[in-house]
């Protein structure tokens, strides 16, 4: 029986030959977050009703055929809609920076017609994020906060675009 199990597990892993890949590890971690109550992240995923589509849950091969290889070592699995499930159309490979812009706690502003998170705007304008956020909280306008000089009497409204 033991020999059969070993052969069986070898056979299973040889079907996709990705058992030691980063893609396989991402698939296993996503499943654990959704279905293993002992997983430290379960409360933020499975505990909130986040699931993995049945096809992906049953088959790494199905997951991999949709997701493909990670573009680089800097990419990991991300759900575009943070309230959505792990399923085709809602998952992508993203960098830490891209994932940080997909957090529920982000505040978005419109600068020159472009919708940006506060961190994106600070990075784009070369401004320290904490200084930028501090100026906004003190009532400075968005442009004054980005430029670092108070030139107008226009104030930042506390109600900002949020997603």
% of the chain beyond a pLDDT of 70: 82
pLDDT over threshold 80, residue 150 = no
Q: What is the pTM of this model?
A: 0.68
Q: Are residues 86 and 137 in the same domain?
A: no
> Last residue of some domain: 49, 81, 100?
100
- Check whether residue 92 and residue 148 sit in a common domain: no
Asked whether the beta carbons of 160 and 108 are under 8 A apart, the reply is: yes
pLDDT for 17 beyond 80? no
Q: Is there a contact between 137 and 131 (Cβ–Cβ < 8 Å)?
A: no
Are 150 and 75 in the same domain?
Answer: no
For helices 22-35 and 60-67, what crossing angle results, to 10°?
A: 120
Residues 45 and 17 placed together within one structural domain of the fold: yes
Same domain? For 118 and 49 the reply is no
Residues 89, 116 within the same domain: no
Paired strand residues for 115: 110
Same domain, 82 and 115: no
Q: How confident is the model at residue 13 (pLDDT cuts 50, 70, 90)?
A: very low
For the chain, how many structural domains are there in total? 2
Give the integer Cα–Cα distance in Å for 123 and 52. 34
Q: How far apart are CA 66 and CA 91, in angstroms?
A: 9
**Domain termination site, one of 100, 128, 149:** 100
User: 142 lies in which domain range?
Assistant: 107-162
Distance CA 136, CA 25 (A): 41
Q: Are residues 147 and 83 in the same domain?
A: no
Q: Residue 1: pLDDT above 70?
A: no
Q: Which two tokens stand for residue 131?
A: 């200084």
- Whether the predicted pLDDT of 159 surpasses 70: no
Q: Is 155 helix (H, G, I), strand (E, B) or coil?
A: strand
Same domain, 30 and 77: yes
Q: Which of 48, 73, 100 is the last residue of a domain?
A: 100
Answer yes or no: are the C-beta atoms of 68 and 22 closer than 8 Å. Answer: no
Q: Confidence band (pLDDT; 50, 70, 90) for 14?
A: very low
Is 59 in the same domain as 127?
no
What's the pLDDT tens digit per position in 102-142?
Answer: 888 888 888 888 898 899 999 999 999 999 999 998 888 88
Give residues with Cβ within 8 angstroms of 18, minimum separation 6.
24, 60, 64
Same domain, 87 and 155: no
Report residue 11's pLDDT band, with 50, 70 and 90 as the boundaries.
very low
Which of 8-17, 88-97, 107-116, 130-139 shows the lowest mean pLDDT across its residues?
8-17
Other CB atoms within 10 A of residue 132 CB: 22
On whether both 86 and 120 belong to a single domain, the answer is: no
90: left (phi over 0), alpha (psi -120 to 50) or beta: alpha
């Amino acid at each position: 029986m033991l020999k059969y199990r070993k052969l069986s597990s070898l056979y299973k892993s040889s079907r996709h030959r990705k058992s030691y890949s980063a893609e396989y590890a991402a698939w296993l971690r996503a499943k654990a977050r959704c279905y293993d109550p002992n997983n430290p992240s379960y409360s933020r995923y499975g505990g909130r009703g986040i699931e993995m589509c049945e096809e992906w849950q049953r088959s790494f091969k199905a997951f991999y055929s949709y997701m493909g290889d990670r573009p680089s070592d800097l990419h990991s699995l991300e759900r575009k809609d943070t309230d959505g499930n792990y399923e085709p159309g809602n998952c992508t490979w993203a960098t830490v920076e891209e994932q940080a812009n997909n957090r529920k706690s982000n505040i978005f502003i419109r600068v020159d017609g472009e919708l940006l998170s506060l961190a994106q705007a600070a990075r784009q304008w070369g401004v320290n994020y904490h200084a930028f956020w501090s100026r906004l909280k003190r009532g400075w306008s968005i442009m004054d906060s980005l430029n670092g000089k108070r030139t107008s009497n226009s104030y930042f409204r506390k109600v900002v675009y949020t997603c």
